[in-house]
Every structure is written in structure tokens, then in C-alpha cells.
């Protein structure tokens, strides 16, 4: 892939000079970003895989830049590092579901007609009397939405169909079908979900006796909304009191015909969550954490958090194919760009004007293999989690989407309006204050985004705790997760401007006398694309 030189030339010279002048005030410059990223994405770091020597070198390098600029350690015992324990867990699951229809009761055990996920969280009993049949359980687009006029908050949601309704793009449907439980719970606020088991399923694969059932960095006593799969026998009983019988609904779903939506009357479902967990494997990795203290005696105990992930996917360990010469995934954009921007922001705050609130900088580990660093931090924070008023996350902010020159001014903010409308307004104002404001494209913030980006990067670990977040990215390109994601393709001028935007947004929040108001209105403001 050739670097897109036209992008740079397309910017008016005056704009470039104005950016440089503004950026210098806070020491966030294309030149310094280039220096840090050139090292972090070099072959020497071997692609920064989690649990690798390359990632260790990156951690030490970041800590060095923090120390030199006077950013304080925010990790364990006065260090810049927070140890992240990645646990392999064997579970003994005795969970059951009891269904009561018109006074008749049946109990189903895990593995006998129903299947729980391996990690069901902490022990508890959850009875739900409000049960909605949501057709296919899909929100495809403006033309097809099973959740239209359907309120499932705090309820149990059930759906059918392995292919979605007639006429939907099979590729899109396939992707969304697998995401139905998380869509219902995370996006729509459901308390639990039941999905029909896929016909061929049922028996679990036999594994080595001490092989972990799952890997986690989370607390095992957290309450997890139940999401189970169930067979025909279960569904027949569940629908036995309804006017519409399961058999008919199932055959409609198989024919991809329209499905009705209705509440199941006189039915209650009790989830009895009961599992024991045994740690059979422990591995260590680390987050890098820095703090710049605030100046206000009262507000300094509260934090604006900034984050990026400094891990990547490592290097090819298998023999190179003929013609292949490179085995190292440099991850310059993913997420060397966010990592480097975060160094710039931390140093700018440490060396420049101070804010009223304190500032927390976390370089997350293990993002590529399951958001380990951010999940761990959210469950084991080094500052009180309820004192974090906002989290700003950056992942891949150094390129143009699909290498298009038309994208040279565009950034994709995600989530800014979902928890706090006020935070969204602060973002807009911060952008307007830049010498050359960026163009915002909110496409990835749409609730129907098939990639469900809002739920898939480190910021979500914070959002799930109710913390207002903004995720910044310049979106994907053809070098994504390839050995060709390298430093010479980074658009450093654009990246410096995005870094400046994140700095400025964070600065404004850090000087507010109150945390951004959490009104939880969902994605309703950040839509479409802003004009310049
Ligand atoms: Zn990434």
C-alpha cells in the first residue's frame, strides 16, 4: 500500500501552520508522536503480543516517557504498572431454570434441554414474570426492527429463527443473529434472554480434564444477566399457555415468515444461578498507569480517565509462505497510534497548565485477546471507580478510513451521547475551539452498527459501570491486523489534531465543577456526519 500523499497536500498551508501553533502549546506535536510511535511499532517490539517480551519493552518505554515528564505512577505500590491476573477457570455448574405456566412447573438443568454459558457469574436467584416474545429479536435497519414499540427493560426476552426474516441480507443477518443476546441486554436493557439451540449442538466437546472452561480477568462474583440456549422441549412448555403454539411459530421462523410479537401471560421463569469456580491457570500481564494530580482541593479526588491499548497481535510463529518476508505485526495504527497519543496527552498535562480534577492515564494490555486490561481495571481500579467522571478511549486514530483522501479530516466518535448528553456537547465545543475542527462521522455510534463497536473496545468496560465515555477512531483500512500496519503510513498531522481534540475535551471535563450529567438517553444526538 502506498502512502496517501495527496491527503497532506490537500490541507491548506495556513491550516497546517495554525495547527502547529496550537499544538505546540501543549507539546502534542506530529514530531514527538512520530518519535514515540517509531519505536513502539518497530520490529524490535515484535508486535507487542500480550504475555510477550515485546509488550514488556513497550511498557517500560511508556513508563520512561511518563517519568521523564513528571507524570506520577498510578499502578501497584507506587509503580507505573498494575498487574493483571488472567485466570483460566474450571466451572462446576448446577444452575437451573424453572418455568411455571398456568400453575404447572418444570425445572430444566444445565446440559439437559438448556445450556448456560460457562461463566454465569455469582450465585443468585432471578425470577422474571414479564416475558416478551420478540419475533426474530433483530433490529436490522429503519425498515425492520423487532423492538419497535417493544419495551423489554428488565424483562426476559425470547426469540426464534436461525436465519432471520425473509429478504434480509444473509451475511448481515448471520452477524446480527449471534449478537442477539448482547443486543437485547446491553442495548435494550433486557434482564435475561433465551435463544433456540442450534440443531446440531447439544453435546459439549470433550476437553482435557484440567483444561479451563473459560478465561477471565473479571471478578467471579459479578452478577451476569442470564443468556441461555434451549431446545424444542423447553420452548414447547414455555409457550404451552399461549394462543400461538411453539410448533407454528417455529415453522414460520423456518420459512422466514413474519413473526408476531407478544407478551407471554401467566408465565414465570426462575433462573437459579449456582456455579463453583476453580482457578486452574494463572497468567500475569500489566497495565501501565499514570496520574497527573488536579489543583482543586475538593475536585482533585475525582478523575478524568484517558485510555488506549498498547498490546497488539505479535508475530507469525509459523513458517513464512513463499514470497512473504515479514512476520511482525507492527500495529502502528492499532493501537500504536492511541498509545502514542496517550503519552503526548499525559506529558502535556504534566508539563502544562493543571486542571481542577486529577487525570488518570491507563495503557491497557490484552485488548486484542479480550479487553483484558480494561475489564481488569474496571473491576480492580487503582483509584475509586465511582470517582472517574469520564473515560476517553483512543484506538486506531492515525489513518484515513479505507485510505481515502476524502477522509483526511474525519474522525469517528462513538458513544459520546449515550450516557451523558452534556459530555457530547463538551466534545462539540472542544472541536469547535480547534484551529481547524475535525469532521465527525457518527456512523459507528448507530445502534444498528453491525460491528457493534460501542461494545467492543476498552471504553465499554468503563461504560458498563455507568461512566460516560467517548471512543475516538479513524476507522478501518486494508492494513488492519496485517503486517503492513506500519509507521510510514501514519498521518501524523491528522493524528496530532485528534490527540489535541482528546486533550481539549478532557481538559474541559477536568475543569467542570460537576461530572458530566448522566442522563442515559442513548444514541440520540450523535447521528450522521457534521459538516466542517
Ligand atoms: Zn485496537
Determine how many CB atoms are found less than 10 A away from the CB of residue 520: 12
| Distance of alpha carbon 510 from alpha carbon 504, whole angstroms | 10
* Grid cell in block for residue 508: 474541559
pLDDT at 423: 98
Rounded to the nearest angstrom, the distance between the alpha carbon of 162 and the centre of ligand 1 is 31
Contacts of 17 (CB under 8 A, 6+ apart): none
pLDDT at 199: 57
| Distance of alpha carbon 216 from alpha carbon 233, whole angstroms | 32
Q: Taking the mean position of all CA atoms in its chain, how far away is CA 435?
A: 30
pLDDT at 140: 83
Determine how many CB atoms are found less than 10 A away from the CB of residue 197: 19
| Distance of alpha carbon 291 from alpha carbon 67, whole angstroms | 11
pLDDT at 23: 43
pLDDT at 207: 64
Rounded to the nearest angstrom, the distance between the alpha carbon of 367 and the centre of ligand 1 is 7
| Distance of alpha carbon 391 from alpha carbon 180, whole angstroms | 27
pLDDT at 277: 96
Rounded to the nearest angstrom, the distance between the alpha carbon of 396 and the centre of ligand 1 is 6
Burial of residue 153 (number of CB atoms within 10 Å: 0-12, 13-18, 19+): exposed
Rounded to the nearest angstrom, the distance between the alpha carbon of 405 and the centre of ligand 1 is 22
Ligand 1 is an ion; its neighbours by CB within 5 Å are 334-335, 395
Rounded to the nearest angstrom, the distance between the alpha carbon of 476 and the centre of ligand 1 is 10
Q: Is there a contact between 436 and 497 (Cβ–Cβ < 8 Å)?
A: yes
Q: Is there a contact between 318 and 335 (Cβ–Cβ < 8 Å)?
A: no
* DSSP track, 269-281: EEEEE-EEEEEEE
| Distance of alpha carbon 526 from alpha carbon 519, whole angstroms | 15
Q: Taking the mean position of all CA atoms in its chain, how far away is CA 433?
A: 28
pLDDT at 205: 56
Rounded to the nearest angstrom, the distance between the alpha carbon of 312 and the centre of ligand 1 is 7
Nearest to 440 by CA among 483, 418, 473, 481: 473
Rounded to the nearest angstrom, the distance between the alpha carbon of 457 and the centre of ligand 1 is 7
* Grid cell in block for residue 289: 498507569
SS3 402: helix
Q: Is the pTM of this model over 0.85?
A: yes
Q: How many CA atoms lie within 13 A of 110 on its CB side?
A: 20
Rounded to the nearest angstrom, the distance between the alpha carbon of 307 and the centre of ligand 1 is 12
Rounded to the nearest angstrom, the distance between the alpha carbon of 527 and the centre of ligand 1 is 23
3-state helix, strand, coil in the chain (%, to 5): 30, 25, 45
Nearest to 57 by CA among 283, 65, 263: 65
Rounded to the nearest angstrom, the distance between the alpha carbon of 130 and the centre of ligand 1 is 39
| Distance of alpha carbon 10 from alpha carbon 24, whole angstroms | 22
Enter the DSSP assignment of 488.
G
Rounded to the nearest angstrom, the distance between the alpha carbon of 458 and the centre of ligand 1 is 9
Rounded to the nearest angstrom, the distance between the alpha carbon of 368 and the centre of ligand 1 is 7
Q: Which residues of the chain have pLDDT under 70?
A: 1-26, 199-207, 531-532
Determine how many CB atoms are found less than 10 A away from the CB of residue 339: 30
Percent of the chain predicted with pLDDT > 70: 93
Determine how many CB atoms are found less than 10 A away from the CB of residue 172: 15
Rounded to the nearest angstrom, the distance between the alpha carbon of 310 and the centre of ligand 1 is 9
pLDDT at 2: 28
pLDDT at 291: 98
Amino acid at each position: 500500500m502506498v502512502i496517501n500523499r495527496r491527503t497532506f497536500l490537500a490541507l491548506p498551508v495556513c491550516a497546517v501552520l495554525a495547527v502547529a501553533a496550537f499544538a505546540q502549546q501543549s507539546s502534542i506535536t506530529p514530531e514527538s508522536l512520530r518519535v514515540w510511535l517509531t519505536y513502539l511499532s518497530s520490529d524490535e517490539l515484535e508486535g507487542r503480543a500480550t504475555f510477550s517480551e515485546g509488550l514488556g519493552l513497550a511498557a517500560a518505554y511508556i513508563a520512561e516517557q511518563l517519568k521523564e515528564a513528571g507524570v506520577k505512577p498510578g499502578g501497584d505500590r507506587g509503580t507505573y504498572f498494575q498487574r493483571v491476573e488472567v485466570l483460566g477457570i474450571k466451572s462446576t455448574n448446577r444452575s437451573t431454570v424453572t418455568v411455571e405456566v398456568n400453575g404447572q412447573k418444570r425445572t430444566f438443568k444445565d446440559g439437559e434441554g438448556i445450556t448456560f454459558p460457562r461463566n454465569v457469574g455469582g450465585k443468585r436467584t432471578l425470577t422474571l414474570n414479564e416475558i416478551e416474545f420478540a419475533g426474530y429479536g433483530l433490529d436490522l435497519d429503519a425498515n425492520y426492527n423487532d423492538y419497535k414499540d417493544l419495551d423489554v427493560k428488565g424483562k426476559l426476552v425470547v426469540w426464534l429463527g436461525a436465519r432471520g426474516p425473509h429478504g434480509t441480507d444473509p451475511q448481515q443477518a448471520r452477524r446480527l443473529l449471534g449478537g442477539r443476546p448482547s443486543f437485547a441486554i446491553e442495548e435494550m436493557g433486557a434482564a435475561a434472554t433465551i435463544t433456540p439451540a442450534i440443531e446440531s449442538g447439544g453435546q459439549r466437546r470433550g476437553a482435557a480434564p484440567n483444561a479451563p472452561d473459560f478465561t477471565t480477568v473479571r471478578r467471579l462474583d459479578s452478577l451476569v444477566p442470564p443468556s441461555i440456549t434451549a431446545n424444542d422441549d423447553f420452548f414447547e412448555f414455555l409457550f404451552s399457555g399461549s394462543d400461538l403454539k411453539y410448533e407454528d411459530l417455529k415453522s414460520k421462523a423456518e420459512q422466514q415468515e413474519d413473526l408476531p410479537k407478544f407478551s407471554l401471560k401467566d408465565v414465570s421463569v426462575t433462573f437459579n444461578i449456582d456455579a463453583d469456580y476453580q482457578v486452574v491457570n494463572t497468567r500475569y500481564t500489566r497495565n501501565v498507569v499514570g496520574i497527573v494530580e488536579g489543583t482543586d482541593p475538593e475536585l482533585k479526588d475525582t478523575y478524568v480517565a484517558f485510555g488506549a491499548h498498547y498490546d497488539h497481535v505479535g508475530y507469525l510463529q509459523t513458517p513464512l509462505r513463499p514470497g512473504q518476508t515479514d512476520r511482525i505485526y507492527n500495529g502502528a495504527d492499532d493501537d500504536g497510534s492511541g498509545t502514542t497519543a496517550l503519552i503526548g496527552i499525559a506529558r502535556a498535562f504534566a508539563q502544562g497548565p493543571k486542571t481542577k480534577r486529577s487525570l488518570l492515564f491507563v495503557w491497557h494490555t490484552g485488548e486484542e485477546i479480550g479487553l483484558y486490561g480494561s475489564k481488569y481495571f474496571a473491576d480492580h481500579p487503582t483509584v475509586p471507580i465511582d470517582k472517574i467522571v469520564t473515560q476517553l478511549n483512543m484506538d486506531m486514530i492515525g489513518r484515513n478510513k479505507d485510505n481515502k483522501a476524502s477522509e483526511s479530516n474525519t474522525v469517528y466518535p462513538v458513544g459520546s451521547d449515550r450516557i451523558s448528553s452534556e459530555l457530547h456537547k463538551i466534545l462539540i465545543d472542544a472541536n469547535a475551539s480547534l484551529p481547524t475542527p475535525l469532521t465527525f462521522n457518527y456512523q459507528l455510534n448507530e445502534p444498528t452498527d453491525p460491528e457493534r463497536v460501542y461494545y467492543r473496545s476498552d471504553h465499554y468496560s468503563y461504560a458498563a459501570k455507568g461512566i460516560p465515555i467517548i471512543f475516538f477512531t479513524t476507522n478501518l483500512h486494508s492494513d488492519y491486523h496485517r503486517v503492513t500496519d506500519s509507521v510510514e503510513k501514519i498521518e501524523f498531522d491528522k493524528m496530532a489534531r485528534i490527540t489535541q481534540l482528546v486533550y481539549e475535551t478532557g481538559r474541559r471535563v477536568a475543569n467542570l465543577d460537576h461530572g458530566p450529567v448522566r442522563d442515559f438517553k442513548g444514541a440520540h444526538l450523535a447521528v450522521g456526519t457534521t459538516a466542517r
